[in-house]
Amino acid sequence: MLTLPKNIYQRSAYLDKIKPFINKGLIKVITGQRRVGKSYLLFQIMELILTESPEAEIIYINKEDLQFSAITNAEELNNYVLERKNKNGFTYVFVDEIQDIEQFELALRSLLLLSDIDLYITGSNANLLAQDIAGVLSGRSIEIVVHSLSYPEFLEFHQLADESNSLEMFMKYGGLPFLRNLELTDLIVFEYLKNIYHSIIYKDIINRYEIRNVPFLEQLVTFLAGNIGSIFSAKKIADFLKSQQTKISPNQVQIFVNYLSNAFLIHVATRFDIQGKRVFEIGEKYYYENLGIRNALWGYKIQDKGKIIENIVYNHLLFKGYKVHVGSLGSEEIDFYCIKDNEICYIQVALSISEEKTIQREFGNLSKIKDNYPKIVITLDPFEGNTYEGIQIFSLRNFLLNYEL
């Protein structure tokens, strides 16, 4: 009999996305970096189903659990489910880390033919799941990407009040859910996060893609950690690493960046030409899915605080469901060009706006955009007051907690 963990913290933003598709003939595909809480989201869905239907039949397969090691391919997965499904009613099937089962998509296609089965799967590799599911199950799945805890979730998980010290801990340690079980000190948290990083690197990248040049991969990860929020091309990265006595082709750099992105360790933000309405092919920014992992690798340094708050804003926009680009307006840069439901928002992020030259740069760039979509500046400075010629100003805490785009 399935026993659910006790005291599960609900992540309502994701449950609300999934609820409309329960008992519908679609596979619910839940993706995201390892340890962001995909398994616990499955438990929350099970809890919801059992609350409404206490007699519901649930099959749960966790490929990180040794008891399921015999399920290695599509046929074995299909047989396992068919042998255990409810013969006279509905069955809910949950498969955790399904990418570890060869040709899993064939089993899903077969099981989807049965009207009395509802399927939920998780995975930690975006490209693998996208290719396999899109190729075989196009139009018959819905994807929900799970991110590290947002700032409001971080406060709830750790039972903290919204204050400057809480935001500082969030900026330093990031939002992996398991941290609520640990003492929030550098020694303990960063040791845990380094272990998560190595798990991602070895399970989701090195082993999966049979990488031999491990030192270069780790060098690239470190380089990106030190340059979050900076525009780079694969060629520029290759040129820099060459100056550090590491010779690698731009094509190989791009391949490795894709691996890191597929494993959800980093996000790649492409540049968007606001006037020409097109995405540039060259020049991207890189952000970490979890800043705690980034800080564990690179250090939490005062000179990086501007980059860190920019990364936090980017992650929050993803959490809110926005597609985010780096805006380009002639020779000027807009930190974020955000799109959701065919609505646009422009955002600039600044560590502080206490100096006149910073005000002129951040607000001046936004003022040059000649449309009526919202334009805002986000700063670490506390601020309550008027707009700047119609451009709104938000402190980082206020934006993360209260602003609805």
Q: What is the pTM of this model?
A: 0.95
Mean pLDDT of 309-318: 98
Return the minimum-mean-pLDDT range out of 255-264, 300-309, 382-391: 382-391
- Residues 102 and 175 grouped into a single domain: no
Q: What is the pLDDT of residues 315-338, one digit of tens each?
A: 999 999 999 999 999 999 999 999
- Residues 225 and 275 grouped into a single domain: yes
Range of the structural domain that residue 257 is part of: 151-402
Mean pLDDT of 357-377: 94
Looking at 98, 113, 145, the residue that finishes a domain is: 145
- Residues 139 and 195 grouped into a single domain: no
- Residues 160 and 265 grouped into a single domain: yes
Looking at 126, 145, 164, the residue that finishes a domain is: 145
Which residue in this structure is represented by tokens 């700032």? Answer: 151
- Cα 297 from chain centre: 18
Please check whether residue 2 lies inside any domain of the structure. Answer: no
- Residues 236 and 112 grouped into a single domain: no
pLDDT at 224 over 90: yes
pLDDT at 1 over 70: no
118: domain CATH number is 3.40.50.300
Please check whether residue 302 lies inside any domain of the structure. Answer: yes
- Residues 260 and 383 grouped into a single domain: yes
Q: What is the pLDDT of residues 62-87, one digit of tens each?
A: 999 999 999 999 999 999 999 999 99
Mean pLDDT of 228-234: 94
Mean pLDDT of 126-152: 83
What confidence score (pLDDT) does residue 3 get? 83
Please check whether residue 241 lies inside any domain of the structure. Answer: yes
Looking at 128, 145, 162, the residue that finishes a domain is: 145
Return the minimum-mean-pLDDT range out of 127-136, 202-211, 326-335: 127-136
User: How many angstroms separate the first and last alpha carbons of the chain?
Assistant: 44
Q: What is the pLDDT of residues 254-281, one digit of tens each?
A: 999 999 999 999 999 999 999 999 999 8
Q: What is the pLDDT of residues 115-126, one digit of tens each?
A: 999 999 999 988
